Amino acid sequence: MTEALPQEVIRIKRDGGRLSRAQIDAFVRGLTHDTWSDSQAAALAMAILLRGMDPAETVALTEAMTHSGEVLDWRDARLAGPVLDKHSTGGVGDKVSLLLGPIVAACGGVVPMLSGRGLGHTGGTLDKLEALPGYSVTPSRDLLLQTLRVAGCAIVGASERIAPADRRLYAIRDVTATVESVPLITASILSKKLAAGVSALVLDVKVGNGAFCTTLAQASELADCLEQVAQAAHLPCVALLTDMNQVLGTTAGNALEVREAIHFLSGKVREPRLLEVTLALCAQLLLLGGLAASLDDARRAAMQALESGAAAQRFARMVAALGGPSDVLRDARLPSAEVQIDVAAAGAGFVTAIDTRALGLAVVALGGGRQRPGDAVHPGVGLSQVLSLGAMVDAGQALACVHALDAASAQAAARAVRAAFTLGAVAPAAPWLVRACSPDAGPTHSATGC
């Protein structure tokens, strides 16, 4: 039994050894039942970050974390279709969940999407939806089921009973510089999805200067690891790499993003990059879920759900069922910020680069995200009309509009936004938007991670 002692498990991984399933189970039990201290868990997390884990270890960690709490089973719930979900590794202006849930529901899937809050410079879907007055992200089990029956989708928070070992380990990793490890990220994401009982999953692995994975190589390695481990857990799963070198859509900030999502669903404005990423993810999920015969058919069905208004109706039903405005497409009752100022370009030219992380941090500084755990977020603040790469501007033309609580924070954000844009005389090549995950990543999930 000594080999499952915390200090032994830590020593083996520290020295580059392989952990047995029994040792990994002991670690996860220790996390769940508090028999491992925070410092022991942090030491093992750091050893894993530095030494990596092989696929079998990553699978064992994922399975143990999945079973550390409740595992949902929808088979008796008599839902109208396969239970499908999407997860994003996080970006700036990423409102795809608000669109994909209703689109997939309109195409016959059932989407109980257990989402998270903002992390670092990235926004969180729960914070966005809470901008809608009355919307509950913590419904009872009965209300969750009722919402899934009337809307086909319910975007809510995970209960504390889902993957509690991940909940504790994630909090420890967050403050010990051990988030950026491919096996730890993989086990964290997949344990929650497996515990949520989904029957197919599409993963949006963001790559670029506004993502946690900044290079294609890092993102490919993570995507490949996620697919391999999901396969070992018998979860049909596809990971797509999507661009995060610019804000997705034209807004970043909670209420602003919900408004953009409503305009998108109701057909008022569909920013082309947001449309492309959303359709690509929807199509993969519909195919995986057996709701389409080919990717082309799936894409057509997703587009039809948008054009017919069926997806917008699903969104409206979900919001009303979860306590939000009863007619959200007409009157979303979203809060707005007191001060709105345009950020004028200092010169003329093409937008050749955007520091997307800096834009995300500007939203956080405006009050749209948290600087400390438990901080309240201000739903109305953020950025709108954010220009994309390749846009041509004249001197004095707006790069974005800042929505702030007061003039001082508006000016500070305006300076950050201006500094985040690089203008040049030559138009940049059109950036790629969506890629399949690389098939040739190596067998060991490296130490470096994202």
Selection from 375, 446, 388, 444 nearest residue 420 by Cα: 388
Q: Does 188 bind ligand URA (CB under 6 A)?
A: yes
Q: Does 185 bind ligand URA (CB under 6 A)?
A: yes
Q: Which of residues 156-175 bind ligand URA (CB under 6 A)?
A: 170
Complex with ligand URA: residue 186 or 266, whichever CB lies closer: 186
Residue tagged active-site, from 32, 58, 66, 87: 87
206 is catalytic: no
Which of these ranges, 53-61, 129-137, 177-185, 249-257, lies near ligand URA under the rule CB under 6 A? 177-185
Complex with ligand URA: residue 87 or 259, whichever CB lies closer: 87
Sign of the alpha-carbon dihedral angle for 106, 199, 287, 126: positive
Q: At what angle do helices 254-265 and 272-288 cross, to 10 degrees?
A: 70
Which position among 24, 45, 189, 240 is part of the footprint of ligand URA (CB under 6 A)?
Answer: 189
Complex with ligand URA: residue 201 or 302, whichever CB lies closer: 201
403 is catalytic: no
Selection from 158, 142, 162, 159 nearest residue 150 by Cα: 142
- Cβ–Cβ under 8 Å, residues 135 and 143: no
- Report the DSSP pairing between strands 434-436 and 237-243: antiparallel
Q: What is the DSSP letter of 77?
A: G
Q: How many residues bind ligand URA (CB under 6 A)?
A: 7
220 is catalytic: no
Residue with nearest beta carbon to ligand URA: 188
273 is catalytic: no
Q: Which two tokens stand for residue 325?
A: 């405005």
Q: Which of residues 257-286 bind ligand URA (CB under 6 A)?
A: none
268 is catalytic: no
Q: List CB contacts of 165: < 8 A, sequence separation 6 or more.
A: 28, 31, 32, 64, 65, 68, 69, 191
95 is catalytic: no
- Cβ–Cβ under 8 Å, residues 294 and 107: no
Q: At what angle do helices 96-106 and 272-288 cross, to 10 degrees?
A: 50
Q: Which two tokens stand for residue 299?
A: 């894409």
- Cβ–Cβ under 8 Å, residues 318 and 102: yes
86 is catalytic: yes
Q: Which of residues 84-143 bind ligand URA (CB under 6 A)?
A: 89
Complex with ligand URA: residue 185 or 361, whichever CB lies closer: 185
Catalytic residues: 85-88, 125, 173, 188, 192-193
Which residues make up the interface to ligand URA (CB under 6 A)? 89, 170, 179, 184-185, 188-189
